[in-house]
Amino acid sequence: MKLYHALCNVGKFRTVFDFGGRDVAHWFPGHMAKGLKQMRASLKSVDCIIEIHDARIPFSGRNPAFQETLDVRPHLLILNKMDLADLSNQQRILKKLEKKGVTNVLFTDCLKQRDDNIKKLVPMVVEIIESKPRFNRDENTNYCLMVIGVPNVGKSSLINSLRRTNLKKGRASRVGGEPGITKAVLTRIQVCQRPVMHLLDTPGVLPPKIESVETGMKLALCGTILDHLVGEDIIADYLLYSLNRLGMFRYDLLNFHMVSV
Protein backbone atom coordinates (compact mmCIF):
# COMPACT_ATOMS: atom_id res chain seq x y z
CA MET A 1 0.00 0.00 0.00
CA LYS A 2 2.85 2.40 0.79
CA LEU A 3 4.38 1.71 -2.61
CA TYR A 4 1.03 2.38 -4.35
CA HIS A 5 0.50 5.72 -2.61
CA ALA A 6 4.11 6.77 -3.21
CA LEU A 7 3.74 6.09 -6.93
CA CYS A 8 0.39 7.88 -7.23
CA ASN A 9 1.37 10.99 -5.28
CA VAL A 10 4.43 11.91 -7.35
CA GLY A 11 4.04 15.54 -6.29
CA LYS A 12 4.34 14.63 -2.64
CA PHE A 13 7.62 12.77 -2.35
CA ARG A 14 8.83 12.08 1.15
CA THR A 15 11.76 14.14 2.38
CA VAL A 16 12.33 11.85 5.36
CA PHE A 17 11.99 8.08 5.57
CA ASP A 18 10.10 6.72 8.58
CA PHE A 19 12.12 3.81 9.95
CA GLY A 20 9.42 3.12 12.52
CA GLY A 21 11.77 2.60 15.45
CA ARG A 22 13.42 -0.41 13.84
CA ASP A 23 16.36 -1.94 15.68
CA VAL A 24 19.52 -2.42 13.64
CA ALA A 25 20.76 -5.03 16.11
CA HIS A 26 17.90 -7.28 14.99
CA TRP A 27 19.43 -7.44 11.53
CA PHE A 28 22.97 -8.07 12.74
CA PRO A 29 22.65 -10.80 15.39
CA GLY A 30 26.37 -11.29 15.87
CA HIS A 31 29.68 -9.58 15.13
CA MET A 32 31.16 -12.72 13.51
CA ALA A 33 34.06 -12.88 15.96
CA LYS A 34 35.04 -16.33 14.72
CA GLY A 35 35.72 -15.01 11.22
CA LEU A 36 37.84 -12.14 12.51
CA LYS A 37 39.75 -14.52 14.77
CA GLN A 38 40.55 -16.75 11.80
CA MET A 39 41.72 -13.74 9.80
CA ARG A 40 44.01 -12.51 12.57
CA ALA A 41 45.49 -16.00 12.93
CA SER A 42 46.38 -16.01 9.22
CA LEU A 43 47.94 -12.53 9.17
CA LYS A 44 51.52 -13.65 9.77
CA SER A 45 51.70 -15.07 6.23
CA VAL A 46 49.85 -12.16 4.57
CA ASP A 47 51.68 -9.44 2.62
CA CYS A 48 48.72 -7.25 1.67
CA ILE A 49 45.06 -6.82 2.64
CA ILE A 50 42.57 -6.57 -0.23
CA GLU A 51 39.38 -5.00 1.10
CA ILE A 52 36.48 -5.26 -1.31
CA HIS A 53 33.33 -3.18 -0.99
CA ASP A 54 30.28 -2.27 -3.05
CA ALA A 55 30.94 0.72 -5.36
CA ARG A 56 27.33 1.88 -4.89
CA ILE A 57 28.02 2.67 -1.22
CA PRO A 58 31.77 3.45 -1.06
CA PHE A 59 31.46 5.31 2.26
CA SER A 60 28.68 3.38 3.99
CA GLY A 61 28.93 0.05 5.71
CA ARG A 62 32.68 -0.59 5.59
CA ASN A 63 33.50 -2.59 8.69
CA PRO A 64 35.63 -0.45 11.08
CA ALA A 65 36.78 -3.66 12.77
CA PHE A 66 38.89 -4.36 9.67
CA GLN A 67 40.89 -1.20 10.28
CA GLU A 68 41.17 -1.91 14.01
CA THR A 69 42.28 -5.54 13.75
CA LEU A 70 43.66 -6.15 10.26
CA ASP A 71 45.09 -2.84 9.06
CA VAL A 72 48.66 -3.78 9.97
CA ARG A 73 49.52 -4.71 6.39
CA PRO A 74 49.59 -2.76 3.13
CA HIS A 75 46.01 -2.15 2.03
CA LEU A 76 44.13 -1.93 -1.29
CA LEU A 77 40.45 -1.00 -1.44
CA ILE A 78 38.49 -2.59 -4.30
CA LEU A 79 35.16 -0.91 -5.12
CA ASN A 80 33.35 -3.69 -6.98
CA LYS A 81 30.08 -3.79 -8.94
CA MET A 82 31.04 -0.55 -10.68
CA ASP A 83 28.60 -1.44 -13.47
CA LEU A 84 25.76 -0.84 -10.99
CA ALA A 85 27.15 2.39 -9.53
CA ASP A 86 26.92 6.03 -10.54
CA LEU A 87 30.58 6.87 -11.14
CA SER A 88 30.07 10.39 -12.45
CA ASN A 89 31.55 11.58 -9.15
CA GLN A 90 34.44 9.13 -9.18
CA GLN A 91 37.07 11.80 -8.48
CA ARG A 92 35.05 13.11 -5.53
CA ILE A 93 34.85 9.56 -4.19
CA LEU A 94 38.61 9.14 -4.45
CA LYS A 95 39.31 12.49 -2.78
CA LYS A 96 36.93 11.74 0.09
CA LEU A 97 38.51 8.31 0.61
CA GLU A 98 41.95 9.90 0.55
CA LYS A 99 40.90 12.19 3.40
CA LYS A 100 40.01 9.04 5.32
CA GLY A 101 43.51 7.68 4.72
CA VAL A 102 42.62 5.33 1.86
CA THR A 103 44.97 6.09 -1.03
CA ASN A 104 45.06 2.80 -2.96
CA VAL A 105 41.69 2.32 -4.67
CA LEU A 106 40.59 0.30 -7.70
CA PHE A 107 37.12 0.11 -9.28
CA THR A 108 36.16 -3.29 -10.70
CA ASP A 109 33.37 -5.34 -12.25
CA CYS A 110 34.41 -8.85 -11.29
CA LEU A 111 31.53 -10.58 -13.06
CA LYS A 112 32.54 -9.06 -16.38
CA GLN A 113 34.27 -11.63 -18.55
CA ARG A 114 37.10 -9.21 -19.35
CA ASP A 115 37.61 -6.35 -16.92
CA ASP A 116 40.62 -4.19 -17.82
CA ASN A 117 40.79 -2.91 -14.25
CA ILE A 118 41.36 -6.45 -12.96
CA LYS A 119 44.55 -6.50 -15.03
CA LYS A 120 45.82 -3.55 -12.97
CA LEU A 121 45.43 -5.32 -9.63
CA VAL A 122 48.58 -7.47 -9.60
CA PRO A 123 50.95 -4.59 -10.60
CA MET A 124 49.27 -2.33 -8.02
CA VAL A 125 49.65 -4.93 -5.27
CA VAL A 126 53.32 -5.56 -6.10
CA GLU A 127 54.02 -1.81 -6.02
CA ILE A 128 52.18 -1.40 -2.70
CA ILE A 129 54.00 -4.32 -1.09
CA GLU A 130 57.45 -3.34 -2.35
CA SER A 131 57.00 0.19 -1.02
CA LYS A 132 56.73 -1.20 2.53
CA PRO A 133 58.72 -3.68 4.66
CA ARG A 134 57.99 -7.32 3.80
CA PHE A 135 57.75 -8.41 7.46
CA ASN A 136 60.94 -10.51 7.53
CA ARG A 137 60.12 -12.16 4.22
CA ASP A 138 62.44 -10.11 2.00
CA GLU A 139 63.92 -13.16 0.29
CA ASN A 140 60.55 -14.67 -0.57
CA THR A 141 59.25 -13.47 -3.94
CA ASN A 142 55.87 -15.17 -3.54
CA TYR A 143 52.96 -13.02 -2.41
CA CYS A 144 50.05 -13.93 -0.17
CA LEU A 145 47.02 -11.63 0.01
CA MET A 146 43.91 -11.72 2.17
CA VAL A 147 40.55 -10.69 0.72
CA ILE A 148 38.17 -9.16 3.27
CA GLY A 149 34.82 -7.37 3.17
CA VAL A 150 31.22 -7.38 4.32
CA PRO A 151 28.99 -10.14 2.87
CA ASN A 152 28.08 -10.33 -0.82
CA VAL A 153 30.37 -7.62 -2.19
CA GLY A 154 32.22 -9.98 -4.55
CA LYS A 155 35.21 -11.42 -2.68
CA SER A 156 34.90 -14.84 -4.29
CA SER A 157 34.09 -13.25 -7.67
CA LEU A 158 37.32 -11.23 -7.41
CA ILE A 159 39.35 -14.39 -6.82
CA ASN A 160 37.73 -16.15 -9.76
CA SER A 161 38.20 -13.10 -12.00
CA LEU A 162 41.91 -12.92 -11.15
CA ARG A 163 42.33 -16.62 -11.95
CA ARG A 164 40.48 -16.18 -15.23
CA THR A 165 42.60 -13.15 -16.17
CA ASN A 166 46.04 -14.28 -15.03
CA LEU A 167 45.94 -18.08 -15.15
CA LYS A 168 43.23 -18.69 -17.78
CA LYS A 169 41.60 -21.07 -15.32
CA GLY A 170 38.06 -21.51 -14.07
CA ARG A 171 36.61 -20.56 -10.73
CA ALA A 172 38.16 -21.81 -7.53
CA SER A 173 35.86 -20.11 -5.02
CA ARG A 174 32.11 -20.60 -4.69
CA VAL A 175 29.99 -17.64 -5.78
CA GLY A 176 26.39 -16.92 -4.83
CA GLY A 177 23.77 -14.21 -5.13
CA GLU A 178 23.10 -13.95 -1.43
CA PRO A 179 25.30 -13.13 1.57
CA GLY A 180 27.01 -15.82 3.60
CA ILE A 181 28.29 -18.21 0.91
CA THR A 182 31.85 -18.31 2.29
CA LYS A 183 31.76 -19.60 5.86
CA ALA A 184 35.43 -19.71 6.87
CA VAL A 185 38.93 -18.63 5.87
CA LEU A 186 39.91 -20.95 3.04
CA THR A 187 43.24 -22.37 1.99
CA ARG A 188 45.53 -20.40 -0.30
CA ILE A 189 44.20 -20.03 -3.84
CA GLN A 190 46.67 -19.21 -6.60
CA VAL A 191 45.62 -16.30 -8.81
CA CYS A 192 48.85 -15.42 -10.64
CA GLN A 193 52.02 -17.17 -11.81
CA ARG A 194 54.31 -14.21 -12.57
CA PRO A 195 54.73 -13.26 -9.83
CA VAL A 196 53.43 -16.21 -7.84
CA MET A 197 50.47 -14.82 -5.93
CA HIS A 198 47.92 -16.52 -3.69
CA LEU A 199 44.76 -15.17 -2.08
CA LEU A 200 42.95 -16.19 1.08
CA ASP A 201 39.17 -15.96 0.73
CA THR A 202 37.35 -15.06 3.94
CA PRO A 203 33.76 -14.96 5.20
CA GLY A 204 31.90 -11.67 5.02
CA VAL A 205 32.10 -9.91 8.37
CA LEU A 206 29.58 -7.24 9.28
CA PRO A 207 30.36 -4.46 11.78
CA PRO A 208 29.45 -5.25 15.40
CA LYS A 209 27.61 -1.92 15.46
CA ILE A 210 26.02 -0.14 12.50
CA GLU A 211 26.20 3.65 12.80
CA SER A 212 22.53 4.16 11.89
CA VAL A 213 19.41 2.39 10.65
CA GLU A 214 19.81 4.24 7.33
CA THR A 215 23.30 2.80 6.85
CA GLY A 216 21.82 -0.62 7.58
CA MET A 217 19.17 -0.01 4.93
CA LYS A 218 21.81 0.87 2.35
CA LEU A 219 23.61 -2.37 3.14
CA ALA A 220 20.32 -4.24 2.79
CA LEU A 221 19.63 -2.61 -0.59
CA CYS A 222 23.01 -3.85 -1.82
CA GLY A 223 22.26 -7.40 -0.71
CA THR A 224 24.72 -7.73 2.16
CA ILE A 225 21.95 -8.91 4.50
CA LEU A 226 19.39 -11.64 3.90
CA ASP A 227 16.18 -9.91 2.79
CA HIS A 228 13.92 -11.57 5.33
CA LEU A 229 15.95 -10.19 8.25
CA VAL A 230 14.97 -6.66 7.27
CA GLY A 231 11.75 -7.34 5.38
CA GLU A 232 11.29 -7.29 1.62
CA ASP A 233 8.54 -4.66 1.87
CA ILE A 234 10.66 -2.17 3.84
CA ILE A 235 13.63 -2.69 1.50
CA ALA A 236 11.44 -2.05 -1.56
CA ASP A 237 9.87 1.01 0.09
CA TYR A 238 13.28 2.45 1.00
CA LEU A 239 14.49 1.86 -2.56
CA LEU A 240 11.51 3.78 -3.95
CA TYR A 241 12.13 6.60 -1.47
CA SER A 242 15.80 6.76 -2.51
CA LEU A 243 15.00 6.81 -6.23
CA ASN A 244 12.45 9.59 -5.76
CA ARG A 245 14.87 11.63 -3.64
CA LEU A 246 17.51 11.34 -6.39
CA GLY A 247 15.04 12.27 -9.13
CA MET A 248 15.30 8.85 -10.78
CA PHE A 249 11.72 8.16 -11.82
CA ARG A 250 12.13 5.17 -14.12
CA TYR A 251 11.96 2.79 -11.16
CA ASP A 252 14.28 0.26 -12.75
CA LEU A 253 14.39 -2.09 -9.77
CA LEU A 254 16.68 -4.57 -11.51
CA ASN A 255 19.56 -2.20 -12.11
CA PHE A 256 19.33 0.66 -9.65
CA HIS A 257 22.14 3.16 -9.17
CA MET A 258 22.95 4.91 -5.92
CA VAL A 259 24.71 8.18 -5.31
CA SER A 260 28.03 7.66 -3.54
CA VAL A 261 27.10 7.40 0.11
Tell me what pLDDT residue 16 has: 80
| Same structural domain, 35 and 116 | yes
Q: Is residue 155 included in any domain, yes or no?
A: yes
| Same structural domain, 57 and 173 | yes
| Same structural domain, 150 and 88 | yes
| Same structural domain, 9 and 62 | no
Per-residue pLDDT for 145 more than 90? yes
Whole-model pTM? 0.78
Q: pLDDT band at 243, cuts 50/70/90?
A: confident
| Same structural domain, 167 and 182 | yes
| Same structural domain, 140 and 186 | yes
Q: Is residue 18 included in any domain, yes or no?
A: yes
Mean pLDDT of the chain: 79
| Same structural domain, 55 and 159 | yes
| Same structural domain, 223 and 132 | no
Q: Is residue 254 included in any domain, yes or no?
A: no
Q: What is the mean pLDDT of the segment spanning 85-114?
A: 91
Q: pLDDT band at 98, cuts 50/70/90?
A: very high
Per-residue pLDDT for 123 more than 70? yes
Tell me what pLDDT residue 14 has: 77
What domain range is 59 assigned to?
Answer: 31-200
Tell me how far apart the alpha carbons of residues 72 and 94 are, in angstroms, rounded to a whole number.
22
Tell me how far apart the alpha carbons of residues 239 and 243 are, in angstroms, rounded to a whole number.
6
Residue pair 160/110 in contact by the 8 Å Cβ criterion = yes
| Same structural domain, 144 and 229 | no
| Same structural domain, 123 and 234 | no
